Amino acid sequence: MINEKLDSKIMKYKQQFNDLKKDNHFYRLGKPFETSEKKYFYDTGTGKIFQINENVYSVLSCLFDSDQFDSLLELGMEEDTLEAALQEIIECISEEHILSAPPVTCFSGPHVSALENYLQYNMNQLTLEVTERCNLRCNYCIYQDSHNDFHGYNDRDMTFETAKKAIDYTYPRVDEDFFLAFYGGEPLLNFKLIKQCVEYAEKLVTDKKLGFSMTTNAVLITKEIAEYLVEHNFVVLVSLDGPEEIHNENRVFQDGTGSFKYVMRGIKHLVEAKEKNHSKDESGDTLYFSLVASGSNLVEKYYKIQEFFDNTEWLPKPVTVNASYVSYGRTAEEYLKPSSIEDKSYREDKTIDPLFSWSVENKRDSSNEKKLFSNGQMRKFLHMIHRRDIRQVPMENYYFNGCCVPGSRRLHVNVDGNFLPCERVGSVPFLGNVDSGFDIPSINKHYVNDFMNKSVEYCKDCWAVHLCTSCYIDCFDEEKVNLSYRHSGCRYIRYLLDQSLSLYHEIVEHDPESLRELNDIIAK
């Protein structure tokens, strides 16, 4: 038996380490990671990160991979070396309170303690789905009839009566600034309603800052529409996949014709309208791009996309791009623990997120000082690490991952006047509607209690519980919580956090001053 081979000097540590598990697993307590030069350990409970030596790294990695103290014998370490590493860890536990995260039994935060208060006094953005119509038929669109999470293409528009009710309901509940966003379909197909809403909101909102935004394919943006959007200080998110050959692979009209030249015409109108009113530099504050990466030869495409944004001189710089992948709809999966062989293989697979891997490699290239079009996603996770909670002793409370208070940060109202947490959640239980307002009992049931009880089953095993960005997306059927849709997302987030921990500390080692810019990022 392995136990019989263990020297008594090593055996004395076994009970101490097994006690740390608290009837759970070692791997929930932290994450060993490395850069090309150094080894580190992230502690779940305190948020602290320590540089560690090779032996301590090997011991912690073995404990977290095997979840068994006895597996340390298989490392082949000299007994004195192993004991020294164990003793160093024990001393750090005593002095720094690491490896001591309390069990995850419930979630805390405003979802639990102040739900009604947040929905009464702390709302921020209202998004109106002004139409379900669209003038394009993008090959990967979530509104294709084959997609199982969203409605298909329809001819329905929101009425001004519904929009007015939504504005009237939301505005008194806004805390500070009020942002009114327009979504579709293609929202400019119902530009008449947009103008009605803008006119109404500008008369109504006199004591708060009012802002407007829109997500559009830009095909319908004329000079007149561009001037209107600029006059009313719209933030515009334009769907653009890069140069013509890439964009036209998927973003097409109903007859299959590519939309690139019409999109670029609309963008040009926007930029020119902005330049009439402000400096060129300020255009970048209100014009953003949404890009979907798809198809084969992705790395080659990324370089072409980067070249396109760099060389289109009239585009405001730096270009801000929200890059994503094609959504194929929710897929139910079995849960794989973070220590599983499958999860480990997933983490080591550099093809999981080719855009993130490409971004990291270009970031590591010190000769490349360009602003990558993909910086946004990478900075998001670096920012998560940069602004993480760091405590002297383990945090007692766990929060709802990356979940907003549903309806508070952004309230999405569909053409029928039903409330949803945002435009990205798909088929989920409604939060209420414009006629009866928020359905607090239903929100409490689905988005607080049921969600928490189901999530705890899995979050209790996860080292990333305090860093997690997972939200309500892919967590529901139409009527109830179903986290089997989220399991692949959990693996993906752990993968990105693992990669980001390494990248962040490579930057700390070689260019720490460049991390200062993360202080200015506001979490969204």
Give pLDDT tens digits for 302-352. 999 999 999 999 998 888 899 988 877 778 888 877 777 777 777 777 678
Give pLDDT tens digits for 454-501. 999 999 999 999 999 999 999 998 889 999 999 989 999 999 999 999
Q: Which two tokens stand for residue 180?
A: 């009114």
Q: Is the residue at 89 inside a domain?
A: yes
Q: Is the separation of the CB atoms in 146 and 138 below 8 Å?
A: no
Q: Is the separation of the CB atoms in 133 and 113 below 8 Å?
A: no
Q: Is the pLDDT of residue 279 over 70?
A: no
Q: Which two tokens stand for residue 476?
A: 């529901």
Q: Is the pLDDT of residue 367 over 60?
A: no
Q: Is the pLDDT of residue 3 over 60?
A: no
Three-state DSSP at 413 gives strand
Does residue 169 or residue 474 have the better pLDDT? Answer: 169
Q: What is the pLDDT of residue 524?
A: 47
Q: Is the residue at 494 inside a domain?
A: no
Q: Is the pLDDT of residue 1 over 50?
A: no
Q: What is the pLDDT of residue 280?
A: 47
Give pLDDT tens digits for 232-250. 999 999 999 999 999 999 9
Number of domains in the chain: 1
Q: Is the pLDDT of residue 72 over 80?
A: yes
Range with lowest mean pLDDT among 5-19, 266-280, 377-391? 5-19
Q: What is the pLDDT of residue 396?
A: 96
- Domain with 30 in it: 2-96
Give pLDDT tens digits for 369-383. 567 888 887 888 999
Give pLDDT tens digits for 184-201. 999 999 999 999 999 999
Q: Is the residue at 398 inside a domain?
A: no
Task: For 145-194, give the secondary structure using H, E and C.
Answer: CCCCCCCCCCCCECCHHHHHHHHHHHHHHEEEEEEEEEECCCHHHHHHHH
Q: What is the pLDDT of residue 429?
A: 95
For residue 151, what pLDDT band results from cuts at 50, 70 and 90?
Answer: low
Range with lowest mean pLDDT among 89-98, 167-176, 237-246, 338-347? 338-347
Q: What is the pLDDT of residue 415?
A: 98
What is the DSSP annotation of 263-290? HHHHHHHHHHHHHHHS-HHHHTTTEEEE
Q: What is the pLDDT of residue 348?
A: 74
Q: Is the residue at 66 inside a domain?
A: yes
Give pLDDT tens digits for 192-232. 999 999 999 999 999 999 999 999 999 999 999 999 999 99
Count Cα atoms within 13 angstroms, Cβ side, for 105. Answer: 5
Give pLDDT tens digits for 418-427. 999 999 898 8
Residues 6+ apart with CB under 8 A from 31: 41, 42, 44, 64, 463, 464, 498, 501
Q: Is the residue at 31 inside a domain?
A: yes
Q: Is the residue at 84 inside a domain?
A: yes
Query: Over pLDDT 90: what percentage of the chain?
Result: 74
Task: State how far the alpha carbon of 216 is from the alpha carbons of 248, 290, 445, 485, in Å.
Answer: 16, 9, 35, 28
Give pLDDT tens digits for 15-71. 999 999 888 899 999 999 999 999 999 999 999 999 999 999 999 999 999 999 999
Q: Is the residue at 221 inside a domain?
A: no
- What mean pLDDT do residues 1-21 have? 76
For residue 49, give the nearest of 497, 517, 514 by alpha carbon. 497
Q: Is the residue at 70 inside a domain?
A: yes
Q: What is the pLDDT of residue 58?
A: 98
Q: Is the separation of the CB atoms in 447 and 438 below 8 Å?
A: no
Q: What is the pLDDT of residue 361?
A: 86
Q: Is the separation of the CB atoms in 382 and 98 below 8 Å?
A: no
